[in-house]
Amino acid sequence: MSANPQSLRTTGPEYPLVINGRLVAGAMTLDVINPATGRLLTRCARADKAQLDAAVAAAKLAFLAWSATPIQARRQALLKIAAALEARGAEFARLLTQEQGKPLAAATHEVGGSVAMIRAFAAMDLPVKILRENDSERIVQQRAPLGVVAAITPWNFPLMLLMIKVAPALLAGNTVVAKPAPTTPLTTLLFGELCAPLLPAGVLNIIVDQNDLGGVLTQHPDVVKVAFTGSTATGRKVMASVAGTIKRLTLELGGNDAAIVLDDVDVKDVAAKVFRGAMMNSGQVCLAIKRLYVPDSLYDAMCAELARLADATVVGDGLDAATQMGPLQNKTQFEKVKEFLVDGRTRGKVIAGGMALERDGYFVAPTIVRDIPDDARLVREEQFGPVLPVLRYSSVDDAIARANGTEYGLGGTVWSADSKRAFEVAQQMTSGTVWVNKHLELPPDIPFGGAKQSGFGTEMGQEGLEEFTQSRIINMAK
> Please, are residues 440 and 446 in contact by the beta-carbon 8 Å criterion?
no
Q: What is the dihedral of CA 392, 356, 325, 180, to 10 degrees?
A: 100
Strands (E), 325-385: 349-352, 367-370
Predicted local confidence at residue 14, as pLDDT: 83
Active site residue 195: no
State the pTM of this model: 0.95
Strands (E), 332-458: 349-352, 367-370, 387-393, 408-409, 411-415, 433-436, 451-452, 455-456
> How much of the chain exceeds pLDDT 70, in percent?
97
Query: Which pLDDT tens digit goes with each residue over 102-159?
Result: 999 999 999 999 999 999 999 999 999 999 999 999 999 999 999 999 999 999 999 9
Residue 3 pLDDT > 50: no
User: Catalytic: which of 193, 286, 381, 459?
Assistant: 286
Residue 225 pLDDT > 60: yes
Predicted local confidence at residue 13, as pLDDT: 59
Query: Residue 389 and residue 411: Cα distance in Å, rounded?
Result: 17
Query: Which pLDDT tens digit goes with each residue over 82-114?
Result: 999 999 999 999 999 999 999 999 999 999 999
Stretch 313-334: mean pLDDT, rounded? 98
User: Catalytic: which of 193, 252, 381, 467?
Assistant: 252
**What domains sit in the chain, N to C, each tagged with a CATH number?**
5-253+454-477 (3.40.605.10), 258-443 (3.40.309.10)
Residue 228 pLDDT > 60: yes
Query: Which pLDDT tens digit goes with each residue over 7-66?
Result: 555 445 589 999 999 999 999 999 999 999 999 999 999 999 999 999 999 999 999 999
Stretch 349-358: mean pLDDT, rounded? 98
Active site residue 335: no
Residue 1 pLDDT > 70: no
Average pLDDT, the chain: 96
Predicted local confidence at residue 8, as pLDDT: 56
Residue 358 pLDDT > 90: yes
Query: Which pLDDT tens digit goes with each residue over 379-434?
Result: 999 999 999 999 999 999 999 999 999 999 999 999 999 999 999 999 999 999 99
Q: Which residue, among 301, 147, 295, 307, has the nearest Cα to 227 in the 3D structure?
A: 147
